[in-house]
Amino acid sequence: MGAEGIGARVARKEDKRFITGKGRYTDDMVVPGMKHAMFVRSPHAHAKINGIDKSAALAMPGVIDVLDGKQLTEDQIGSLICGWMIHSKDGSPMNMGNWRPLAEDAVRYVGDAVAIVVADTKAQAREAAEAVSVDYEELPAVTDSMAALADGAPQIHPNAPGNQIYDWEIGDSGEVDAALASAAHVTELNVVNNRLIPNAMEPRAALGHYNAAEDHYTCWTTSQNPHVARLVMSAFYNVAPENKLRVIAPDVGGGFGSKIYIYPEEIVCLWASKRTNVPVKWVADRTESFLSDAHGRDHVSNIKLAFDSDNRITAMKVDTVANLGAYMSLFSSSVPTYLYATLLSGQYNIANIHANIRTAYTNTAPVDAYRGAGRPEASFLVERAMETAARELGVNPAELRRKNFITEFPHQTPVIMTYDGGDYGASLDAAMKAADYDGFAARKAQSAASGKLRGIGMACYIEACGIAPSQAVGSLGAGVGLWESAEVRVNAVGTIEVLTGSHSHGQGHETTFAQLVAERLGVGIDTVNIVHGDTDKVQMGMGTYGSRSGAVGMSAISVALDRVQAKAKKIAAHLLEADEADIVIEGGELKVAGTDKTLPWFQMALAAYTAHNLPEGMEPGLKESAFFDPSNFSFPAGCHICEVEVDPDTGVTEITQFVAADDFGTIINPMIVDGQVHGGVTQGIGQALLEGCVYDPGSGQLLTASYMDYTMPRADDLPSFTVETTKTESPSNPLGLKGCGEAGAIGSPPAVINAITDAIGNNDLAMPATPQTVWSAMKA
């Protein structure tokens, strides 16, 4: 490892613009003639639209136009799609309800967009939006998934009888039922995985600019995957063909999944720009974000875990109902199926697993992937069940887990996944050591002496990252390939541009990707620029989600670098009159091994472009690209341990220590990886202790629609964290990377709840475990 290569703790290249106020987010963009938009949104959870009167709004100062769903339909703008087909167990395709970018006949959740107002200023647009009169005929609403599937529930989409989207299963129910019947012990648990609102700090925004002279559209938007946005808006929404549409995702202030999807607003801003012939900018205010960003989680599950007399798991049976909201968001169908049920084996050797998943429409915001996407739900269920089983069986929870760990790889689980490698015992040991697990009894006694209840809990999670290979996900219903692309351009002076389809919105790609180049070409990271987020610059890309930018995105760069190196060596060998096989690249030079003959990197690059003296038949220039499709998912895994102290008088929980020991395979920059763990763990602690999305079940109003009602984790809710890493390299990509972006949010919620239930002696505890909830559980 060089000073800036793989494994170096390098401070981030991108920091300077952010710490000096020079970041460029979508709301910072100004285009000449730009106007401002406000959406008219439904105040009702479910209603028929009998008419829209825009006359008062149109007469207001500064208003350029008010556009509605009828006009959108006239212009043949398409409906929003879900890009992953799931078939029910009876073979029928999922029931996809019609999601118009602007609702025309009916609204199905509070916040559903009905019209767009374009005006000179945002304040004028806001005032005019309030003057748009929509004639709503209110209909009964349902917000809870179980209630939505019950007989007599309000019908949300005409083509989804009983509000069911699909009824899907995985695994062999006969084998599982037989194992349950003959088990020495069965642990059964009912678990709710609470609904969350992602809350990236930058609200969603879009700036649509139609250039009539060139019949060309540009969209600046808060996207984790601008190329996917362009593809979907072209192929499905009929906004413009791909060659007439440029999508730019500039600096993006956090995503956590919520900025993967293509929402109505960017489609409507582009369309409205053509209709009004002015650039149209929309920026969500925070309440709009709460109402209309895709939410996360919202599962209701039952799990049965069968053990033999030696405490080995023989089978698992899971029944889950997932709430997908009013419409099917882009990847929503895959989250409770292939991103959830396929991870139910956890770190354990389980011969038989069966899971049945039903999904429901409700009159709530669409639900889709949020940091972890299905894996936190699986991990929470499995790790709560393991902890419960240990308590019921009267055995040490660490030892029960260890006894059931998978130790030989590759390991085929009964739920599709083939785990390619790992050492679960190593991360368990590392976490227990860092947490001084053995010293817990003494600390508990100390807490008891001061009237406090101390508890400890662990979670041994596994997840799957870098969703791949494309052929495999295609066979499971994915509408897109899940590779990544890269292009490495060596300029004539030897500096380097890397164009990547991955998108950085906090992950630090401009540094870590440059570190890979530094490692391979022996140049400083300051001579490397990472270019991303613009469909006019980068050839194609699938974007950043599922912790895939390392395992898939950097692997594509690695393959392109192989090709650059190969050509550079040919040029150097020719100029140095040496054998190509003897050329090594290091320290900014190409050297002939075992001699003092060298060629500076920049001279080789210049030679490639002057083309005065290249090997016979070689094309000038030095630029290589690659599309990388991994051979398998990668499988980060680890152990999180949480220790809490609960005040029995108030139910207030204090996290006294939190240890994460994770196996992420190869680590490019430990400082950045630690930061990803801190952030993920905090979102998981947020889910466990603080955050909960609440809809009023009668009216369907979102009761947690501001930071005064939805509890975001703040600095004084949290301890400093202890982060350890163990390492087994992933064999599924050339760099051995596994992915670190989501693990924190996957391992932490069960660790926290296992700790609190240990402290209070009641295993039945809902998330978020607020003081009131904990206090009530203590008194139950």
Partner 1 sequence: MANISMTVNGSEVSGDAEDRTLLVEFLRNDLGLTGTHVGCDTSQCGACVVHVDGEAVKSCTMLAAQAAGSEITTIEGLAGGGDLHPVQKAFHENHGLQCGFCTPGMIMAATDMVRRHGASLDEATVRTELEGNICRCTGYHNIVKSILAAASEMGGAQQAAE
Residues that bind partner 1 (CB under 8 A): 11-12, 14-25, 27-28, 30, 123, 199-203, 251-254, 256, 283, 285-287, 505-508, 671-672, 674-675, 678-683, 706-708, 712-716, 718, 720-721, 744
Residue 629 beta carbon to partner 1: minimum distance, rounded to whole angstroms: 28
Residues 6+ apart with CB under 8 A from 196: 295, 296, 297, 370, 686, 687, 691, 692, 693
The residue among 23 and 481 lying less far from partner 1, judged by its C-beta, is 23
On whether the CB atoms of residues 116 and 37 are closer than 8 A, the answer is: yes
On whether the CB atoms of residues 483 and 733 are closer than 8 A, the answer is: no
The residue among 338 and 370 lying less far from partner 1, judged by its C-beta, is 370
Rounded CA separation 742/367 (Å): 18
- Structural element, H or E, at residue 39: strand 35-41
The residue among 388 and 504 lying less far from partner 1, judged by its C-beta, is 504
Residue 513 beta carbon to partner 1: minimum distance, rounded to whole angstroms: 16
The residue among 153 and 283 lying less far from partner 1, judged by its C-beta, is 283
Report the relative pairing of strands 653-663 and 637-646 from DSSP bridges.
antiparallel
Alpha helices in 450-527, H assignment, sequence order = 470-475, 509-521
Residue 665 beta carbon to partner 1: minimum distance, rounded to whole angstroms: 21
Q: Which of 452, 423, 479 lies closest to 639, judged by CA?
A: 423
Amino acid at position 727, single letter: K
Residue 127 beta carbon to partner 1: minimum distance, rounded to whole angstroms: 11
ω into 410 cis (within 30 of 0): yes
The residue among 162 and 713 lying less far from partner 1, judged by its C-beta, is 713
Rounded CA separation 438/447 (Å): 16
Cα-flanking dihedrals φ and ψ of residue 217, to 5°?
Answer: -110, 145
- Structural element, H or E, at residue 748: helix 743-760
Task: Give me the helix-helix angle, 375-393 and 743-760, nearest 10°.
Answer: 30
Rounded CA separation 444/452 (Å): 8
Residue 125 beta carbon to partner 1: minimum distance, rounded to whole angstroms: 14
**E strand residue ranges, 324-416:** 352-360, 411-412
Total count of residues recorded for the chain: 780
Give CA separation, 372 vs 460, 683, 752, 778, in Å: 15, 10, 17, 30
Residue 260 beta carbon to partner 1: minimum distance, rounded to whole angstroms: 15
Residue 251 beta carbon to partner 1: minimum distance, rounded to whole angstroms: 7
Rounded CA separation 354/374 (Å): 16
The residue among 22 and 537 lying less far from partner 1, judged by its C-beta, is 22
Residue 553 beta carbon to partner 1: minimum distance, rounded to whole angstroms: 17
The residue among 606 and 671 lying less far from partner 1, judged by its C-beta, is 671
Query: Which residues does residue 623 pair with via DSSP β-bridges, in sequence order?
Result: 489
Residue 506 beta carbon to partner 1: minimum distance, rounded to whole angstroms: 3
With 0-12 / 13-18 / 19 or more C-beta atoms within 10 angstroms meaning exposed / middle / buried, residue 117 is buried
The residue among 127 and 487 lying less far from partner 1, judged by its C-beta, is 127
Residue 449 beta carbon to partner 1: minimum distance, rounded to whole angstroms: 23
On whether the CB atoms of residues 504 and 14 are closer than 8 A, the answer is: yes
Report the relative pairing of strands 352-360 and 106-107 from DSSP bridges.
unpaired
The residue among 522 and 533 lying less far from partner 1, judged by its C-beta, is 533
The residue among 65 and 251 lying less far from partner 1, judged by its C-beta, is 251
The residue among 7 and 425 lying less far from partner 1, judged by its C-beta, is 7
Residue 671 beta carbon to partner 1: minimum distance, rounded to whole angstroms: 5
